[in-house]
Structure 1
Amino acid sequence: MTAPDAVLHLERETVVHAAPNAVRRLVADVSWWPLLFSATVHVEVLERRTGTDRLRIWAFDENAHRAGRPAVRTWTTTRRLLPDTGTAIVFAQDAPQAPLAAMGGEWRFEPREDGGCRLVLAHHARVSEGTLADHPWIAAMVTRTADAQLAAVKAAAELGRGLDEAVVTAGRAARFRGRAAEAAEALADADRWPLLLPQLAGLRVGAAGPHAWLLERSGRPFAVCVAPVVGRLVVKQLAVSRSCTALTGEWTVRPATDLAGSEPVEEVLVTLRRRGLTAARGAARRRLLTALTRDTARLVRQRETAGV
Structure 2
Amino acid sequence: MTLTKVTHRIGVPSDVESVYRIVADVSLWPLYFPPTVRAERQSWDGREEHIRIWALADGELRTWQSRRLLDPGRHRVEFHQSHPSPPVAEMGGAWTVEEHDDGCTVVLDHHYRAVDDDPAHLARIERAVDHNSTAELENLRRAVLRAGQEAGLLLEFTDTETVKGPLGEVYAFLYDAAKWPERLDHVAALDLREDTEGLQYMRMDTKAPDGSVHTTVSGRVCERDRRIVYKQAVLPPVLQAHNGEWLFEETAPGTVTVTARHQVILSPEGIAALPEPPSSLDAARAAVRQALGGNSRATMARARAFVEAGSSAAPAPPAS
**TM-score, normalisation: structure 2:** 0.76
SS at structure 1 position matched to 2:285 = helix
Question: Is the aligned partner of 1:209 residue 2:196?
Answer: yes
- Whether the aligned pair in 1 keeps the contact of 2:167 and 2:225 (CA below 8 Å) is no
Distance 1:54 1:229, change over 3 A: farther
Worse-superposed segment, 245-254 or 235-244: 235-244
Query: Which string of whole-angstrom CA distances, capped at 9 and with x for unpartnered residues, describes residues 129-154 of structure 1?
Result: 34879834444432332222111111
Query: Which string of whole-angstrom CA distances, capped at 9 and with x for unpartnered residues, describes residues 97-147 of structure 1?
Result: 445331011111222234x22211111123453487983444443233222
Partner of 1:68: none
Equivalent pairs: percent with the same residue?
26
Distance 1:166 1:129 in 2: 46
Distance 1:134 1:208 in 2: 17
- Whether the aligned pair in 2 keeps the contact of 1:170 and 1:289 (CA below 8 Å) is no
Query: Which string of whole-angstrom CA distances, capped at 9 and with x for unpartnered residues, describes residues 11-67 of structure 1?
Result: 222221111111111122334323332222222333444333332222223x4x4xx
- Whether the aligned pair in 2 keeps the contact of 1:171 and 1:293 (CA below 8 Å) is no
Distance 1:287 1:197, change over 3 A: farther
Question: Is the aligned partner of 1:239 residue 2:234?
Answer: yes
Distance 2:121 2:257 in 1: 52
Distance 1:182 1:203 in 2: 21
Give the letter aligned to residue 303 of structure 2.
A
Distance 1:208 1:269 in 2: 29
Distance 1:266 1:136 in 2: 51
- Whether the aligned pair in 2 keeps the contact of 1:16 and 1:117 (CA below 8 Å) is yes
Distance 1:8 1:233, change over 3 A: same
Question: Is the aligned partner of 1:51 residue 2:38?
Answer: no
Query: Which string of whole-angstrom CA distances, capped at 9 and with x for unpartnered residues, describes residues 229-285 of structure 1?
Result: 64111122233222112212111011223xxxxxxx653221111112222289453
- Equivalent of 2:19, from 15, 18, 23? 23
Partner of 1:95: 83
Distance 1:30 1:228, change over 3 A: farther
Give the letter aligned to residue 300 of structure 1.
R
Q: Indicate the RMSD between aligned Cα atoms, in angstroms.
A: 3.0
Distance 1:286 1:91, change over 3 A: same
Distance 2:43 2:259 in 1: 24
**Unaligned ranges ≥5, structure 2:** 206-214, 272-277, 308-320
**TM-score, normalisation: structure 1:** 0.79
* Larger strand percent: 2
1:190 deviates by 3.5
SS at structure 1 position matched to 2:135 = helix
Listed as ranges, the matches of 1:1-308 within 5 Å are 6-61=2-57, 63=58, 65=59, 71-82=60-71, 84-114=72-102, 116-130=103-117, 135-191=122-178, 193-194=180-181, 197-200=184-187, 202-217=189-204, 222-228=217-223, 230-257=225-252, 266-280=254-268, 283-298=279-294, 299-300=296-297, 302-304=299-301, 306-307=303-304
**Unaligned ranges ≥5, structure 1:** 66-70, 258-264
